[in-house]
Amino acid sequence: MTLTEKAALAERAARASGEMLEHHGAFKIHRKSENDFVTEMDFKSEALIRQTLLTACPEDQFFGEETGGATQAPGRWIVDPIDGTANFMRGQRLYTISIAYEHDGALQIGCVYCPGTDELFLAVRGQGATLNGHPIHVSDTASLRDAIVHMGFGVRVPSHRERTLAVFPALLRSVSDVRRTGSAAYDLCCVAAGRADAYLELGINLYDYGAGYVILTEAGGTFTGWADGEDGLVSGNPLATNGRIHEAVRQIVKR
C-alpha cells in the first residue's frame, strides 16, 4: 500500500471514530493522574482505529495512547484516539483524533480530525498539507507583535507548569494575543492553516503531536524544541511556528 493509500485509510479510520464519538451515550470517566483523565470512549475509539488500520495493513505495528504497543517498527501507526479528552468529556467541541504513520523511524503521514467542526487535516511527506481536501499553508506574519500564539500550560506536571508560567508574562507582552484550545494536535493544525502563528507546550507525547508535526511541516512551518538545539520530536517540548517568527519566540521561551 502506498503512502497516499495509507493516508486515505487514516482518514477513513478517523472519520469512523469521529462518527462514533459524536453519537455516544453515557460513558465512564477515570482519573489517570492529576489533571489527566481517560474515558470509556477513548478506549473504544482506539480499538476502532486499531482494527481499521491493521485489518488493511497487517504488516504494520500500532501504538496507541491508551493501550500502548510497538515502540519501534518498520511501519508503525501512532494514535491518540481523543486528543483533548477534557474538552470531550465536558461537551466542548475542540477535541481531535490524531493518527500518524511512521516508516523506518520517520513520520510520513499526519491525519487530524476534529469531529465537532468536521475539519480533516491531512498531509503526506513531500505532498503538502490539506484541510478538507484544500491546500493549506502557514501564515506570512513576520512581526511578533502581530502574532497569535497557541499554547498549553503544562498543567499535569508542576515543573512544566512553573516553567510555562515563568515565560508567560514576557510572551504575552510581546505578541498580539494567546489562545488555548486543549488539543495539541488542533493547535498545530491551526498554525499549519495560518489561523495562528505559533504553538508551544512542555512535556507532551509523540501521539499528541506526531500527526500535527507532519501537517505543520508540510504546510511550510518550523518545528523545534524550546532550547538551543533541542529536538522537539524527541523532548516532547514542541515550539512550532510559521518560520518567520520562530527565532523571536524561541528567544523568549529559552530564558
Average pLDDT over residues 94-101: 97
When pLDDT is cut at 50, 70 and 90, the band that residue 40 belongs to is: confident
**The pLDDT value given to residue 89:** 85
Of 188 and 33, more confident: 188
DSSP assignment, residue 67? Answer: T
Average pLDDT over residues 79-105: 94
Q: How far apart are CA 102 and CA 10, in angstroms?
A: 12
Q: How far apart are CA 194 and CA 221, in angstroms?
A: 10
**Pick from 90-94, 116-120, 125-129: least confident:** 90-94
Q: Is 26's pLDDT higher than 80?
A: no
**The pLDDT value given to residue 30:** 72
* Residue 250: all three cell numbers together: 524561541
- Size of the chain in residues: 255
Q: Which of 225, 158, 206, 152 is nearest to 183 (CA)?
A: 152
pLDDT tens per residue, range 192-228:
999 999 999 999 999 999 999 999 999 999 999 999 8
**The pLDDT value given to residue 204:** 95
Average pLDDT over residues 47-67: 96
What domains are there in the chain, each with its CATH number?
A: 3-136 (3.30.540.10), 144-253 (3.40.190.80)
* Residue 230: all three cell numbers together: 533541542
Strand ranges, E, within the chain: 29-33, 36-39, 61-64, 68-69, 75-83, 96-103, 106-114, 119-124, 129-131, 134-136, 148-151, 177-179, 198-200, 222-224, 239-241
Q: How far apart are CA 208 and CA 84, in angstroms?
A: 9
Q: What is the pTM of this model?
A: 0.95
Write the CA distances from 231 to 184, 196, 234, 240, integer angstroms.
17, 22, 5, 11
pLDDT tens per residue, range 170-195:
999 999 999 999 999 999 999 999 99
When pLDDT is cut at 50, 70 and 90, the band that residue 34 belongs to is: low
Compute the half-sphere exposure of residue 251: CA atoms within 13 Å on the CB side of its CA.
6
Q: For residue 122, what are the β-bridge partners?
A: 111, 130
